[in-house]
Structure 1
C-alpha cells in the first residue's frame, strides 16, 4: 500500500464526508446518508449482507436508524487516504466506534472499514465501503 499524500483539500473533504456519514446515520437522515454514495454505491458487511445501489443503501440505512432509535453514536477515526487509479479516485481505510445507548451499560462495537471513493464533479462519494466488525462489547 502506498502512503503517498493526496492533496490537502481532498483530505479535508474526505474527512468531512466521514463526519457527515456518522451524523446522518445518528440523526436519522437516511436520504442524507444515501447521498454520500454514488448511485451504484455499495455497503458490504462480509458474511452478513451486501447492500447495492440506492434501494439497497436505503434498506441498510433504515435497519440502522430504526434499530438505533436515535441512541447509537458512530465515530469515524484514523482515516487513511491513499491515491487510487486516477486523481478522481482514492482508497480509504478507517475505523469506527459505535456506541449503543439503548442498553445499560452502553454497548460498543468496533469496525474496520476499507473502501473506494470517487470524485463526482467536485464532491467525493463512496463507491464501495466494506465494514468488518472486529469487536462487540455489550
Structure 2
C-alpha cells in the first residue's frame, strides 16, 4: 500500500463530493468504473454511469437545491489494484422549500485501478451514525 495510492483515492473521494455538490452529474459519474454502483441504505441501487448520472439529475436535484458534502475520518486500505475506504459524511443541505439541515452518514466504498487511474467501483451509503 503506497501513500500515493491512498492520496489518489482520497482526492477521488473529494472530487466526488465537489462534483455532486456542483451539480456536475456527468463528470461525477465518470469517477466511477463503467459498471460502478451507488447503493442507498434502503437498498435502492444505481448501477452504471448512465444510471448514476440520472440519479443526480432526476433524484438528487429533486431533493436538494444546495449541498455541501464533508467527508472525514478516512480509512483507506489498498491491495494491488483494488482498495476499500470508509468515511463519515456530514451533508449540509437546503431543500427546494428553503429548509436547511445536516444529515450524518457513513460511506463504505470500494475502488479499482482502471488504466492506471483509481475509480469508484461501489459506494454503500448508510444514514445515521453507522455503528
Q: Which category describes the TM-score, using the shorter chain as reference length?
A: 0.7 to 0.9
Which residue of structure 1 aligns with residue 89 of structure 2? Answer: 96
Equivalent in the alignment of 1:113: 107
1:38-49 alignment, distance < 5 Å? 38-49=33-44
Deviation at 1:55, TM superposition (A): 2.4
Confirm or deny that 1:10 pairs with 2:5.
yes
Q: How many residues align?
A: 126
The whole-number CA distance in structure 1 between the counterparts of 2:4 and 2:40 is 30
TM-score (normalizing by structure 2): 0.88
How much is the aligned-residue C-alpha RMSD, in angstroms? 1.5
Contact 1:26 1:65 in 2 (8 A): no
The unaligned stretches of length 5 or more in structure 2 are: none
Match of 1:33 among 19, 28, 32: 28
Partner residue of 1:56 out of 48, 51, 55: 51
TM-score (norm 1): 0.84
Q: Which runs of 5+ in 1 are unaligned?
A: 1-5
Say yes or no: does 1:122 pair with 2:120. Answer: no
